[in-house]
Amino acid sequence: MKKIGLYFLLGCVVAIGGIIFSALGGQFFNGMGDYGAACVLGMGMYICVVVVTCTGIIAAKMESKSRGDRSDE
């Protein structure tokens, strides 16, 4: 139960980070004309970073498990 709470808290932090990044993206790309489109672009960039990071973490864990390295457990 403790791990579920930790992952829920981590998910909330990531979601709040996405909202902040989206708002900053809206300010950074304000020359697009529409603030909503600039925020969507910022959110898309944030999702790309999160997906690439999570994929790298999963691939690294799978590779370490296939080698028999159990030091992370």
Chain centre to alpha carbon of residue 34: 25
Residue range 11-40, pLDDT digits in tens: 889 889 888 988 888 888 887 778 888 888
Q: Which of 13, 10, 22 is nearest to 46 (CA)?
A: 22
Q: Which of 26, 55, 61 is nearest to 40 (CA)?
A: 26
Per-residue pLDDT reduced to its tens digit, 49-68 = 889 988 888 888 887 777 76
Task: Record the pTM.
Answer: 0.68
